[in-house]
Amino acid sequence: MILTLNPFTQPTPTVDPVGPETELSNLASDLYIEGHTQRALLIAEKALKIARTVPTLINLSVILEALERFDEALPYAAEANRLNPKDDRAAGLYGEALLRKGDMARGWPLYLQNRNTRSQMKDFIPEWEGPHQFLEGKRLLVIEGEGYGDQFYFLRWLATLKGWGAKVSYICQPTLAPLIKQMGFHALENWGGNVDFRWDDYDYHTSILTLPWKLGVTFENYKWAGPYIKVKKRPWWKRDKSNFLRVGICPLAGEGMSPRRTRSMHASQLQVMLNSLDPCHEWVNLHPSYILPFTVDHPPLNNWLDTAKAISTCDFIVSVDTGVAHLGAAMGILTYVILPGASAWQYSIHREDHPFYPSMKMFRNNGDGMDNSVKAVCVHLAKL
């Protein structure tokens, strides 16, 4: 049996009952993780013909998404959810598919069903349930969730809560805390689950992941109010030339726990991209632990505030789907994001612009992998 390490991006192997569809479904999962997506698709289709179960439907939906066939994948996710509405993974997959399509009213609650947004805090601090509970003068504890990119995506709604008079404290990782403070919020550093605060210091708590659902956010009613992450450039920084561009680049995504890494550039892809920019312009490395195989500016990146300051010196940035892409777009910096076939739910389909990030341009792969999306960005860079 193949174990699923990332439940949001991998097919689902099954154990019981053991039947031909189970064996085929596990084989499809194995092939998918090893990168044989087309073969995995054929096997997953055979498994589904034998039995339409939640696992066989999920497997086929996930594999189709990897091939960027989102419209075909969605009905299978919907059917899996109908078969067992209590299956959190089926709900999460279907919810993400709806969010990706722009159907947020139905997508948010299903998305949240597969996220751990409940905590023991509800036994000590009441949960803020939505706008009907007034926040003027209230002390609100907001709990982080998911990865850094997700947090940058959701952070925009902290300003809404602050605008309603809430005194917002945000639990976050230590590397994010300096940026949260720069945004004007109280940061509580989460050291491996250890956070120092008093229960009676707060009137309400909420998970940041629940905010757009509680606020009723949709593409139709969302309005961009300008960059919601702003930083001051380092006082010593200034351009030494006026006729060149500074282009930030982040080639790697944080997917160390995934058995199939789909969001990071391969070394050959990265080299082609670096060579595509005229030497008169300057690359800026925006990844804290990756030394680029090229002569580029390597600013100090000790935390996310440092990264934001480095981004602020760039004319635009090029990034794979990771926190840097979300941060740059949240700052209003022109951001080219390189998407694999299996692009995340935050990137709505059938468009190149982003409804929540006016300065973002999405480069889609049109199939499995990232070769085509990397090539498309290189063509653009070569024209500069």
Domain CATH number, residue 204: 3.40.50
Q: Is 106 in the same domain as 125?
A: no
CA-only gyration radius of the chain, Å? 22
User: Would you state the structure tokens that stand for residue 35, as one six-digit string?
Assistant: 């990168």
Looking at the structure, tell me whether residues 354 and 262 fall in a common domain.
Answer: yes
| Last residue of one domain, picked from the residues 62, 95, 113 | 113
pLDDT of residue 12: 60
**Is the domain of 107 the same as that of 135?**
no
Question: Quick one: pLDDT at residue 8?
Answer: 40
pLDDT at 167: 97
- Neighbour-count burial for 31-47, b at 16+ CB within 10 Å, e otherwise: bbbeeebebbbebbbbb
Is residue 101 included in any domain, yes or no? yes
Q: Provide the pLDDT for residue 13.
A: 57
Q: Taking Cα atoms as reference points, which of 181, 199, 317 lies closest to residue 249?
A: 317
What letter would DSSP give residue 194?
B
Q: In total, how many domains does the chain have?
A: 3
Residue ranges of the chain with pLDDT lower than 70?
1-18, 117-119, 233-243, 256-257, 259
Q: What is the pTM of this model?
A: 0.90
Cβ-contact 139, 167 below 8 angstroms: yes
Among 97, 113, 129, identify where a domain stops. 113
CATH code assigned at 87: 1.25.40.10
